[in-house]
Amino acid sequence: MTNLQAVMFDWAGTVVDFGSFAPTTIFVEAFKREYDFDISLEEARVPMGLGKWDHIKAVGELPEVDARWQAKFGQPMQKEDIDKIYQTFMPLQVKKVAEHADLIPGAKEVIDGLRQHNIKIGSCTGYPRIVLDALLPAAKANGYSPDCAVATDDLKAGGRPAPYMLLQNMIELAVDDVKACVKVDDSLPGITEGLNAGMWTVALLLSGNEAGLTLQEFEAADEATLAAARIKAQDVFAHSGAHYQVDTIADLPDVLADIELRLSKGDRP
């Protein structure tokens, strides 16, 4: 590969934490602990990819959640409510994130292949820096250490779906061409982030938030089960503008080979 310069990865559901369970289960627990208020795992998943304060706000604005909240508290969720849930969420997330640092099958092989081609490895996340700093050494111990890692609160300009975290990756990695970069993510805000940055985008269907499968469920599933999960995720990404949709990071090499071919022909994202 001579045209690609960098691949930028999301974290949970993309490279580590099959099914993206570290953040979603903690959201459910934080709502319960702070307000004795129940949200489902499915509701917690809806805004995945946003910064975590914005994620809590977005969950509270879901019509079904808002209706239950107002029925219980007599008014919509307020800023101070979001702050309290976030303050409960953060220490729980820091404590638990390292427990969800196992690499998704195929990730190490893909990363090693990129390094063999001198392609730089960037990363960004909806996690704030305090959580990312807990995840980085756990992921490194499992064999993954990107060349750059930007957290959602590192930049004053803000996080997803804006492109700033990806552009900061480019600066730190000394990458000079956005069309020579690929963003890989399992969430809609992450794909939009990549498009806003002018990069190629690859949506992951089965390893992340939208399918919501555990690794054990994925490995034990028959083709009908996987097809149903794939369709569920495809429905979410149908109008996302993602250039490619594949099951997991293990399928990335064929995508990158196609992007390399298209770049050699003068195509742009």
> Which residues are CB-neighbours of 21 under 8 A, at least 6 positions away?
12, 100, 214
> What span, in angstroms and rounded, lies between the C-alpha atoms of 79 and 116?
48
How many helices (H) and strands (E) the chain has is answered by 12, 5
Which of the residues 10, 54, 81, 251 is marked catalytic?
10
94 DSSP β-pair partners: none
Structure-block tokens of residue 138: 């756990």
**DSSP code at position 206:** S
203 DSSP β-pair partners: 185, 245
Which of the residues 17, 32, 52, 153 is marked catalytic?
52
User: CA torsion, points 11, 13, 18, 22, in degrees to nearest 10?
Assistant: 70
Structure-block tokens of residue 184: 């890989």
Nearest to 107 by CA among 207, 5, 1: 207
Sign of the C-alpha dihedral, residues 10, 11, 17, 23? negative
> What span, in angstroms and rounded, lies between the C-alpha atoms of 26 and 254?
35
Q: 10 Å Cβ neighbour count for 241?
A: 14
Structure-block tokens of residue 128: 């704030």
In contact, 163 and 247? CB cutoff 8 Å: no
10 is catalytic: yes
Residues labelled as active-site residues: 10, 52
